[in-house]
Amino acid sequence: MQEPCRDLVTLTQVKPTQKGRLALFLDGEFAFSADLDTYARYHLCTGQRYPIQLLEEVRQESGYQLAKEAAFRLLSYKSYTTAMLRQRLGRDYDPECVQRVLDRAEELGLLDDRDYALRLSRDLVRVKKWGLVRVEQELRRRGIGPQEVQEALEQFEELDPEQRIAQVINKKYRSALQDEKGCRRAVNGLLRLGYEYSDISRVVQNLREDPDYYSDPQ
């Protein structure tokens, strides 16, 4: 009696899933789910025997297609860094599929860590009034690389940190400078925003001595 070829398996059943995919059963056991387009492109048919290598190719290609659809859907709602999207997709898809998707998204201009870093840092500085220390921490937390972080911070080289600290104090902590407890509250708040302690102390001291020390802070 001839021994069956171990490199061939039978596609015994195909069942639609609730997510709109197709569940493939090989030799009676569930193997993986595939998207409709990939299944059709490989002309698969139940009852037929296929090389394991071919079906593995189907699995990988289908995983890539599904991951790509998920990535484009996520990117349609908001911007992601490469690291953020990799982490998000990595919950559901193989690393190889995720890397292919990231490469494709970069080719299409949907992922651009440099542009992301420039835009985010401007928002944090101008809108939230963060200091550059905290801005840098946030950029790194989102997985942006050192070169992109440095370039993003370089756009603020002309900003005077003392003027920015004075602006925040005049808006949020002006009355707090009247006593030591209020000063500590102001200092702690500015530290949380990411300003240097030495700059904060100097500005607080100057404003306590002369409320008009910083004219028209930017």
pLDDT in tens, the chain (218 residues): 344 456 899 999 999 998 889 999 999 999 999 999 999 999 999 999 999 999 999 999 999 999 999 999 999 999 999 999 999 999 999 999 999 999 999 999 999 999 999 999 999 999 999 999 999 999 999 999 999 999 999 999 999 999 999 999 999 988 888 888 989 999 999 999 999 999 999 999 999 888 888 875 44
Q: Which two tokens stand for residue 124?
A: 């944090």
Q: Which residues on adjacent β-strands are paired with residue 145?
A: none
Tokens read off for 26:
């090989």
The pTM assigned to this predicted structure is 0.80
Strands (DSSP E) contained in the chain are 8-16, 22-26, 29-34, 49-51
By CB neighbour count within 10 A (0-12 exposed, 13-18 middle, 19+ buried), where does 66 fall? buried
Q: Give the Cα separation of 23 and 21 in Å (integer).
A: 7
Structure tokens at 76: 């349609």
Identify the pLDDT of residue 15: 95
Q: Residue 208 has what pLDDT?
A: 87
* pLDDT at residue 6 in the model: 61
**Nearest residue to 201 (alpha-carbon basis) of 175, 178, 177, 170:** 177
Give the pLDDT confidence score for residue 3 in this predicted structure: 46
